[in-house]
Amino acid sequence: NAGVTQTPKFQVLKTGQSMTLQCAQDMNHNSMYWYRQDPGMGLRLIYYSASEGTTDKGEVPNGYNVSRLNKREFSLRLESAAPSQTSVYFCASKAGGPYEQYFGPGTRLTVT
C-alpha cells in the first residue's frame, strides 16, 4: 500500500495563477483533510471531508476550494494564488471514527 500520496511535490506559482493539489489514499478511509504548515506553527486545517460527498471548512479556508472526487481522492485548488499561500501543504486521511490520521509527504508551494 502506498498510503497517502500527493502531487506535485514542489510547485512555484506567480501571484494570480491557479493550480490544483492532488491527494489520493489507498487505505479505504472515509475522511480526508488538507492542512498547511508554516514555519514555527503547527498544522492548520484548511478543509476536510468527513465522508465521500461532503466537504467542510476548517480553520483557514479563505482562498481555497476543495473537491472530494471519490472515496480515494481529495483535491485542493488555489484559484488566484497569493504570496501568503506560500506554505507546505499536507493531505491526511482517517478511517471513520476517532482514529489516527495518516499524512502524505507534502507539497511545497512558493508563490512569488
Q: Is 40 in the site for another protein (CB under 8 A)?
A: yes
Question: How far apart are the C-alpha atoms of 72 and 41, rounded to whole Å?
Answer: 28
Question: Residue count at the site for another protein (CB under 8 A)?
Answer: 28
Distance CA 112, CA 103 (A): 27
Q: Does 44 bind another protein (CB under 8 A)?
A: yes
Nearer to another protein, 16 or 99 (CB): 99
Euclidean distance between CA atoms 36 and 45, whole angstroms: 7
53 in contact with another protein (CB under 8 A): no
| Whole-number Å distance between alpha carbons of 112 and 102 | 30
Nearer to another protein, 26 or 56 (CB): 56
Q: Which of 11, 17, 19, 45 is close enough to bind another protein by CB under 8 A?
A: 45
